[in-house]
Structure 1
Amino acid sequence: MSTSPGPLRGVRVLEVTQGRAGRVAGMLLADLGADVVRAELSPPVSDDQLSSTLPLAAAGAGAGGTDPGLLCWDRGKRVVRVPAGAAGSDGADGLGASDGLGASDGLSAADGLGASDGLGAADGLGGLLEGADVLLVDHTPDRLAAAGLDAATLTADHPALVHAWLPPFGEHGPWREVPEDPLLLAAATAVADRYPATVERPVAPIVPVITNLHGALGAAAAIAGLISRDRQGGRGRAVAVSGLHAAAAEMAVMTPTGIDQQVFASQRLASLPFWRTYQGSDGRWFFLATLAPDQFFRALEALDRMDILVLPGVDGDIQKIWGYNEASALVNAELEAEFRTRPVAEWLDLLTSVDAPAAPIGTRDEWAASDIVAANGGIVYREHPELGRVRLPGPPFILAGTPAAVGEFPEVADLPADGAVWSGARVDVPVQPAPVGAEAAVAGTATGDTGAVDTAAGDAAGDEDADQLPLHGIRMVDASSYLAGPFVGALLADWGADVVRVESTTGDSFRMFPMSVLVANQHKRTISLDITRPQGRDVLVGLLSGADLFLENLRPGRLERIGLAPGDLARDFPGLVHTSVSAYGHAGQYADAPGFDPVFQARSGLAEGQGGADDPTPTPVPIVDIGTGALGALGTLAALFARLRGGAGQRVFVSLAGTAGFLQSAELTDFAGRPPQVRGTVNHLGPDAAHRYHRCADGWLAVAADGAARRGRLCAALGVATEDELGAALAALPTERAARLLAEHGVPALPALSFHGVLDDPHLRANAFTHIVPDPRYGRIRISRSYADWRTGRGRQPGRALLIGLDSRAILAELGFDADELFAAGVSTDAQLGDVLPGVTVGEAAYDEPSPDEPGSGGAGPEDADPGSPRAEATAGEAASGEPASGEAAREEAAL
């Protein structure tokens, strides 16, 4: 049980999960102080139920049979065995007849993957449900209904319950009954098609990043539900956060597609000279992360290779290498040869001396032992009764006032006959009747001098349903830049918060990637402001005086320089939750260092684990940035919840370094006798023949036959004697026929989606994976729709492009400032339109949603559509990280 004095102390969470994502969500809530009780069916009746490995002796397992992930994800919880009979099990094993593929081509109950696994049916969990504040479930839709754990069934009898459902493949579509598997989910959402490869094929992620992100989003949504319950009369909320939502987040900056004109490359990434791995003379590798041109110039000058800029084809124009062309290939070859002349350590010393970001490719063990991790509490140790000392990643966030903490390993106990397992004090919120009409508006609820919200300010996108979202009435001032910081605000805005983005009068330098800016800001309002000037500082103070939350990713000392030191903010605004996003963490010798997403893929072992020591492979998918955004939202909401329960505001710290550890929670867990870790290679297809991507006659198929029974059914379905023959058998079949055949034999499998097919895929369309947002420069853009579906209200309507200063005039008027005076003084600006298409009104939803057969793409070339920005939205922008670059220009940008 968690003993953390964290922000969720007194909150009771019932975890009834089968897979990894739900388990991760429960771990995060336990780290934050919640009393998390995991109800585990005994004996397991499903191949998909990840049972506890504790105690090992009772399971007949030694250290070599222990799943490190389960050790990590169950920390701080209590585990209760629920007899299978009491839970109403039918003994079936998986995917039901109603799988969405139809009676003739679907997965039937006869497959051995039946409609209900029986795990935790409601009538066997009555006592646990009665005392719970939050229910975490991750069943597929048919299993959830069969177990009686769906929101409609439970909330009628438990109106204060926050029902957080984490289905692996969404609620609709042909694959909705497929059990959780990271390899399958990466295939179904085209994540696998965006991992680097030397040939055209999907690549299996070694680390289940998407599953860990799914868990973080689920935990954050659960806390948002608790906040809503406390602020809206004690009525619980129901939310679905699927694996598809996690994929939509992970791929958010990589999926924008223009309907009216091309905006984004659809091809796979190649290596760009300023943003890639290089090998030194000693055989070691490092990542050069000089995203900003001035950084790359400094690197070339240090190498005494400025001549590269005048090579034929480059001709002194750096923009000519911001793409996949002969000039880029020529510079790549020159630098590859140059870097092979000296060992990596020498190159890193040289590049660091000129403030050009670069990082060594390291292993997980090197990362765990590093000063960076130690300074920020990134590793903790706990004693296990049979395994001895176990290394675990620490909490991926730091809350200064109500700290998170890693609990002990649980003991597994039988469910008491009376079902009474909850202990300790519980804070009950009286349930009021559901509000109707005007009474549904939320009054200000803040403590201290902040957060008395005027809901008349409304929703940034004019959404009439915003008052039905859980964070309606919460205000955030977002002064962050690049991607990781703004994605914190993106999640909160998606769930109803009024997020006001503050950026410089010339805009965040990340605007060189307009599609990335669009997806990270579509539901925010924005004001342009020079906060280094007294009048600009006064406006910022005015914003903070009415805010609940303040978000920034300024490097240490920046706030002090403008007279807003964190200590002064805490004194002047005692109810303010102040979230800081950094690269290396808030403590230690690297606290002031810049950092980008691939730097931490390189340092933390993610790259080495994916490609192997001979060819370490960072992915261009910004997994660390997006993960940091999700964890930042989670920590911020936890701090806000504590404040609403009578606490004060506090600092919250998240970092790219902390996220890199969280994403590898299972991989960083270590103990004597630990099973060997799986490491990938270039073009990695999966761990073995029964669990990998297979080429079929017309595409690729993802197969996940875990366990002896499924492996046997896989071989039987294809008529082969051994798994070595599977590849040849599948190569002769079309993907859909192969998927149907395997489903009929109870083997989870689905086609591996090409990135080109995302917008037309029936499963993603059935789950409303994307929606259309109007942009006054580029027309209609299809982007990720949402990161959760709340059971009341339709959620956010499509947002809009956040042009520089788009809402400056309105926000200044709300605060009582004369906009024209500030515009004339250069302290703020009105909307900066840029290139606007004829007939398009800035800020309005100028386009209707197209019909289902509307083509979703306006082109497939590599160049950015913005003629004034580098030709690289699809290059460095896809991998661009969240934290400010180094260099004087970038340093001033970070100060807004």
Structure 2
Amino acid sequence: MSGQDRMGAEHPFGGHSPGGHGDGNPGGGGAGPAASGGGLPGHGLRVVDLGAGMAAALVSTLLADAGAVVHRVAPSGDEVFDEVYPAHRGWRSVTVPADPADLDVLLAQADVCLVGGEDHPAVTPRHDAADLADRYPRLVVAHLTGYAAGHAPGAPAVDLLVQARTGMVAEHFSDRPLYFAVPFPTYGQAMLAALGVWTALLERAGSGRGQVVGASLQQGAALFMTPFWMRAERPDAEFGKVTPKDVKHLIFQCADGGYVQFVMGVPSAVAKLYRILGIDVPVDPADRGIPRVGASPDTYFGDRPLIAAHVAKLDRAGILAAAEVEGLPAAPVLDLGEFLDDEQLAANGLLVDRGGATGPGNVIGFLGSARAPVETDGPAGTGPTGGGPPLAGVTVLDFGSYVAGPFASRLLADLGASVLKVESLGGDPNRGLQRHFLAAHVGKRALAVDVKTPEGAEVLRRLLARADVVMHNLRPKAAERMGVSPEAVRAVRPDAVTLQAFAFGPTGPRADAPGFDMVIQALLGLERRAGGPDGPPLWIRTPYLDYVSGALGAVAVLMALYGRRTAGRAGDMWVSLLNAGMFLLSDLLREADGTLRGAPPLDGALQGVHPGERLYRTADGWIAIAARTEEAALAMWRVMLPGEPPLPRAAWDGAVAARFDEVCAGRTAAALLTALAEVGVWAEECRTDGLAELERVERAGPERDPAVACLLADRADDRYGRLTGCLGPLVSFSRTETPADDLPGGPGHGAHTRQVLAELGYTDAEAEELLRAGVVR
């Protein structure tokens, strides 16, 4: 289906959307929406994109893939991003180019406007978000910045520099910074901006008013660092169970030169691995290979030296075949692009046309390609009507566990939704990893129930009858057995929105395969990318695909709630770890001849992608430099190598970087930063503690600034006392409230069971009988 067919209507000033999809599927993966574009949640929305750089482009693609028409009025100099990002023109192909002279008319008709974005010296200053919101009262204005208001005023919005200033670069190795090849702040900002846009649109459906939504690169970084940028008033041993820096995952080189990734945690995992590799060492048959707190980085996930010696004797294909027989999760560590022909990507509809090349798209799925979404009686359902948190009145049931599923509902809870975590009597297995559990569950209530009993099934029925949203990351057959499949939910609550989080997807050859964050990283080449072209593959210590999947899931729910409220349509949505991984490869495009183009690879030191955008060690620390133009590069050269004839920026190579390394090693960070600032070169000190940096900003102000509060939420937790850190709303709104102080912490197992039963109409005596019978906890 072409972009014209999908949109189904002409745009103002002539023409149709060029954003067609190469696989013939309109914006929803292999299990897509109804055959017409009208089934997409964004159908009928008009967006004006005035933003610059990668994050703004990604927000545009997310909105266009959801059915919106996006008009593009590019800022002066915007074409420079075609050089920075080879995929830039592909991203922008989903938009309709518009004449700047028509901007006022476009904005008067628009629902959403994107402003701000990535800084580049060649791009001129852009529009004022507050002014646009004042001039067009119904307009939702997404303002993309480098930092939250009140933080680092005037600091450039460049991903590398934000990684440095926030301390993100110090979050993997203990003795040196790491430049993250996947620009996490940028991807986080794009997802938060989309989250904020759909939230504001949903709120506008009740209030009739637009507002400014703020999302920064700094907040995008915080989204990924939540389990690490967290403090507890009363920490205990469980709170300390967080993956340490310098850790090495179970990635090993085989006899044939290929790498393999193992995943532990399943029953008898250690015994299974040792049988596969022929390791004749006695082990506890029950040992699941749970990470060993306090162990060295090389043995945290297992005895790496022992395992490596045996893997090196075997070919990868044989190891993987044996792992499949044993039931131990394992995957080949592939290069970028190797997985692009896998049938699962086609089943998910993930490869789409991006300006004549093929690239990732449709990362949020819509179930029900063979039928239209269920029609309700009209624009209905609880939701915001002006005032208070934007999702006040929305009730969410979360049957998920671990992170990828529950993180979505935690983001909704931050925005005011009432979220109930429904657990088995055994509890969420992730409760043993408290920081990740808290990151995914603060702000929720908890009910423990055995839904396999008749009495438990009745509790479930009553819960479903009250729910606006039902979500889980169960396998489809398990969801059917529990009674929380989309069909089962519909039988009780026809207008409920559902969200399913899969490993690979709802259909396709891998649909039933178990999936783990590191398995998807290995398959998609993300571990190869992180380790650089010459180094071994690298697994980053945060399970970032889990958090991306959760964030995309929250966006999916808001899209569906908007469709329900404005068009009376209920929707079944889905996300997956595979989709999340592909989203993080949005800068990778494949030409018709099969060649790949994308962001340049990391250098061998894992410090940058070019000598002009790189981390440098000084005599007393580290700095990050972003000399993004020829003029800036010339100025940087004169600071580093005064008197020497400069080379053009395009000719800078590893030898030039080595020369700069020598110069930096002999000068202090402060001296270099001063010298670079004097000639207009952007640079930042590399901070070593992200949470401490946030707290420093808070202490610098005379009172608690709302912008600081959005990054340093204050929560009351029964177990840990006060919790502080990135545990509150990471997107800001100019008009609606998103409190960040005195919020609830993480729920104990079954902590609200009695309260919820009373709300469902059970008497005290009936609730007591359910407790006595072991139906609830």
Q: TM-score range with shorter-chain normalisation?
A: 0.7 to 0.9
Question: Per-residue CA shift, 1:725-758, capped at 9, x if unaligned?
Answer: 4333333333244334323322221111213763
Deviation, structure 1 residue 246: 1.1
Q: Is the 8 A contact 2:271 2:287 kept in 1?
A: no
Q: 1:21 aligns with which of 38, 50, 55?
A: 55
1:198-257 Cα offsets, whole Å, 9 max, x none, are x7211112222331231122112101110000022x111322111122111111122223
Preserved contact between residue 497 and residue 560 of structure 2 (Cα < 8 Å): yes
Task: Give the aligned residue type for 2:130.
Answer: A
Residue number in structure 2 paired with 1:690: 612
What's the offset of the Cα at 1:128? 2.4
CA apart distance, 1:71: 2.7
Q: Which residue identity lines up with residue 165 of structure 1 in the other structure?
A: H
Determine the C-alpha separation between the residues in 1 that align with 2:389 and 2:561. Answer: 16
| Structure 1 residues 408-429: Cα deviation after superposition (integer angstroms, max 9, x where no partner) | xxxxxxxxxxxxxxxxxxxxxx
**Where does 1:850-861 land on structure 2 (aligned, <5 Å)?**
none
Out of 333, 350, 360, the position equivalent to 1:393 is 360
C-alpha contact 1:390 1:669 (8 A) present in aligned 2: yes
Amino acid of the structure 2 residue aligned with 1:822: L
Q: 1:637 to 1:51 in 2, by over 3 A?
A: farther
Cα contact 1:601–1:607 (8 A) shared by 2: yes
User: In structure 1, what is the equivalent of residue 32 of structure 2?
Assistant: none
Residue 373, structure 1, aligned to residue 340, structure 2? no
Retained in 2: the 8 A contact 1:40–1:81?
no
1:596 to 1:755, Cα distance in 2 relative to 1, 3 A: farther
In structure 2, do the counterparts of structure 1 residues 191 and 396 end up closer, same or farther at CA, with 3 Å as the change threshold?
same
Of 782, 787, 796 in structure 1, the residue corresponding to residue 730 of structure 2 is 787
Matching residue's letter, 2:75: L
Q: 1:406 maps to what in 2? A: none
* Partner SS for 2:87: helix
Q: Alpha-carbon deviation of 1:650? A: 2.2
Question: Which residue number in structure 2 is paired with residue 350 of structure 1?
Answer: 322
Describe the shift of the 1:266–1:746 C-alpha distance in structure 2 as closer, same or farther (beyond 3 A).
farther
SS at match of 1:550: strand
Pick aligned residue for 2:574 from 653, 675, 686:
653
Per the TM alignment, residue 305 of structure 1 is displaced from its structure 2 partner at its CA by 3.7
Task: Flag structure 2 segments of 5+ consecutive residues without an equivalent.
Answer: 1-16, 21-25, 27-36, 647-651, 701-706
Which deviates more, 545-554 or 611-620?
Answer: 611-620
Aligned length: 706
Q: Which of 747, 750, 759 matches 1:805?
A: 750
Alignment-derived partner of residue 180 in structure 1: 157
Task: Pick one of 97, 104, 108 that aligns with 1:130.
Answer: 108
Q: Summarize deviations over 1:151-210 as a string: whole Å, max 9, x none.
A: 432333211111211112222233x32333222222222222223x5x721111222233
1:216 paired to 2:191: yes
Query: What is the CA distance between 1:695 and its match in structure 2?
Result: 0.9
Q: Deviations over 1:282-311 (max 9, x none)?
A: 11111111134643343334445472537x
CA contact (8 A) 1:496 1:796 kept: no
1:258 aligns with 2:223: no
- TM-score of the superposed pair, with normalisation by structure 2: 0.84
Alignment of 1:69 with 2:87, yes or no, is yes
Q: Paired residue for 1:336?
A: 308
Higher mean displacement: 576-585 or 712-721: 712-721
Residue 40 of structure 1 aligns to a residue in which SS?
coil
| 2:396–2:409 contact (8 Å) kept in structure 1 | yes
Residue 78 of structure 1 deviates from its aligned partner by 0.8
Contact kept? 1:290, 1:358, Cα under 8 Å: no
CA–CA distance in 2 between the matches of 1:551 and 1:588?
Answer: 21
* Alpha-carbon separation, structure 2, partners of 1:607 and 1:327: 17
Alignment of 1:416-815 (within 5 A): 447=376, 452-453=381-382, 467-611=387-531, 612=533, 614-672=535-593, 675=597, 678-680=600-602, 683-718=605-640, 720=642, 721=644, 722=646, 724=656, 725-755=659-689, 758-759=692-693, 762-763=696-697, 767-768=707-708, 769-784=711-726, 785-792=728-735, 793-797=737-741, 798-815=743-760
Is the Cα contact below 8 Å between 1:14 and 1:37 reproduced in 2?
yes
Aligned partner of 1:79 among 97, 101, 105: 97
Deviation digits for residues 406-464 of structure 1 (CA, Å, limit 9, x no counterpart): xxxxxxxxxxxxxxxxxxxxxxxxxxxxxxxxxxxxxxxx9559975499xxxxxxxxx
SS at match of 2:181: coil
- Unpaired runs of 5+ residues, structure 1, are 54-64, 87-123, 404-445, 456-464, 830-896
Amino acid at match of 1:307: V
Measured in 1, the distance between the counterparts of 2:526 and 2:297 equals: 30
Equivalent-residue separation in structure 2 for 1:810 and 1:375 (angstroms): 43
Tell me, yes or no, if the aligned pair for 1:449 and 1:545 is still in contact at 8 Å.
no
Equivalents in 1 of 2:568, 2:261: separation in Å? 43
State the SS of the aligned residue for 1:531: coil
Distance in 2 between the 1:822 and 1:450 partners? Answer: 37
Contact 2:476 2:485 in 1 (8 A): no
Cα distance in 2 between the residues matched to 1:738 and 1:323: 38
> By how many angstroms is 1:31 displaced?
0.8
The superposition leaves residues 797-844 of structure 1 with CA deviations (integer Å, 9 ceiling, x where unpaired) of: 333121111211111111112322221121211xxxxxxxxxxxxxxx
Q: Distance in 1 between matches of 2:243 and 2:403?
A: 22
Deviation at 1:21, TM superposition (A): 0.8
Kindly state the Cα deviation for residue 781 of structure 1 after the two structures are TM-superposed: 3.0
Question: What amino acid is the match of 2:773?
Answer: A
CA RMSD, aligned part only? Answer: 3.2
Establish whether residue 236 from structure 1 lines up as the match of residue 210 from structure 2: yes
3-state SS of the aligned residue for 2:138?
A: coil
Whether the 8 Å CA contact 2:113–2:140 is kept in 1: the answer is: yes
Q: 1:14 to 1:760 in 2, by over 3 A?
A: closer
Cα distance between partner residues in 2 of 1:528 and 1:203: 42
Percent sequence identity over matched residues?
Answer: 28
Q: Deviations over 1:574-622 (max 9, x none)?
A: 2111110010111112212221111111110111122136511121122
| 2:244 and 2:541 in contact (8 A); partners too | no
Distance change >3 Å, CA 355–CA 319, structure 1 → 2 = closer
Using structure 1 for the length normalisation, give the TM-score.
Answer: 0.73
| Alignment correspondent of 1:295 | 269
* Separation (CA, whole Å) in 1 of partners of 2:565 and 2:138: 17
SS of 2:501 mapped into structure 1:
strand
SS at match of 1:697: coil
Query: SS at 1:551's partner residue?
Result: strand
Structure 2 residue aligned with 1:880: none
| Closer, same or farther: CA 152–214 of 1 in aligned 2, 3 Å | closer
1:173/1:764 contact within 8 Å kept: no
The Cα of 1:277 is off from its aligned counterpart by 0.5
1:282 maps to: 256
